[in-house]
Amino acid sequence: MQISPIAIIGGLGKTGGRVAGRLTERGIKIRAASRSTTPRFDWQDRSTWHQALEGASAAYVTFQPDLAVDWAAEAISAFAKTAVQAGMGHIVLLSGRGEDGAVRSEEKLKAAGMDYTVLRASWFSQNFSEGAFMDGLLQGKLALPAGDVPEPFVDADDIADAAVECLTDPRHRNRTYELTGPRALTFRQAVSEIAAAADRAIDYETVSIDAFIAEMTAYGLPQETTSILHELFTQVLDGRNSPVMDGISRILGRPAKDFSDYARETAATGLWSIRS
């Protein structure tokens, strides 16, 4: 019988909240940890780490702001050492596909001397419904520095299901999986599917990366965030991540959710409807 809790680092985020809910439904005790929880967890305040991890058997870890930042690998290394000292035996790390910084962080985790599982995820489908793309969709036009390179968007619910299996089934320990949807779409095609599902006109415009970063800077985003966006829309979206991978089916024994199913289900909630 599982008595020790599973820590969810980033327990209020897109995937962390979903993982926490699924584990709770299974009767597994969890400890969600973020800057707004008790105990508190802050990636930039290492004095908060040990209390959030102490007594937990495993952890699902999402890093903020992104594993692409320069200090991420060193932070993951220190975090893993803290986890070992706290008696933890297994970490499931949410990583990104095609990010050099993410690979450096993965290697630091693997070197810590504890069991690990790495989940390298594509761009989330939910970026269109729970993230930065929502405003443009509601306004009827999304403008991004993403042209004809296809991306196999992955559903956050699939990521959460996969993470829960990796946390609870020892067969997934010390493995790395790439999580994608079942087909790749360009951002323009994705917006077209959303428009069809929502039954309204939504345009898509490809803009230059420089114009996009200038606009984000004008909105007040800090330089660290705009640097991450620059890397995501250039290095990560250069075609290296277009191939569809089988991580979801290998972990869950079922196909990954198609983007059209995500779009239809989300549109049915009225989320993308024009607000009066």
Which pLDDT score, from 0 to 100, does residue 276 have? 57
pLDDT given at position 2 = 55
Q: Within 10 Å of residue 131's Cβ, how many Cβ atoms?
A: 14
Q: What is the DSSP-derived secondary structure letter of residue 153? A: -
Nearest to 258 by CA among 163, 189, 204: 189
Evaluate whether 59 touches 163 at the Cβ level (below 8 Å): no
Q: If you average pLDDT over residues 171-193, what whole number do you get?
A: 98
What are 171-174's contacts with CB under 8 Å, separation 24+?
172/117, 172/251, 173/90, 173/115, 173/116, 173/117, 174/115, 174/116, 174/117
Q: What are phi and psi of 206, to 5 degrees?
A: -90, 125
Q: What is the pLDDT of residue 222?
A: 87
Residue 187 has pLDDT above 60, yes or no: yes
- Cα–Cα nearest to 6, from 132, 160, 212: 160
Close Cβ partners of 268 (under 8 Å, ≥ 6 residues apart): none
3-state SS assignment for residue 224: helix
Percent of the chain with pLDDT over 70: 99
Measured distance CA(108)–CA(92) in Å, rounded: 13
Mean pLDDT in residue range 41-58: 97
> Rounded mean pLDDT of the chain?
95
pLDDT of residue 228: 87
Neighbours of 53 (CB within 10 A): 24
**What's the confidence (pLDDT) of residue 220?**
85
CATH of domain 6-124+154-180+241-256: 3.40.50.720
Query: What is the arithmetic mean of pLDDT over 184-199?
Result: 98
- What is the share, in percent, of the chain residues with pLDDT greater than 90? 84
What's the pLDDT at 68? Answer: 87
What would the pLDDT profile of 138-152 be if each residue is shown by its tens digit?
A: 999 999 999 999 999
Mean pLDDT of 184-213: 97
Look at residue 1 in the predicted model and tell me its pLDDT: 46
Query: Domain coordinates of the chain in residue numbers?
Result: 6-124+154-180+241-256
Minimum mean pLDDT range among 2-11, 177-186, 189-198, 252-261: 2-11
Helical residues (DSSP H) of the chain, grouped into ranges:
16-25, 49-53, 72-85, 100-110, 134-139, 156-168, 187-198, 209-218, 223-234, 247-252, 259-268
Residues in the chain: 276
State the pLDDT confidence band at 216, using cuts at 50, 70 and 90.
Answer: confident
The pLDDT of residue 34: 95
Per-residue pLDDT, averaged over 127-134, amounts to: 90
Q: At what angle do helices 156-168 and 16-25 cross, to 10 degrees?
A: 50
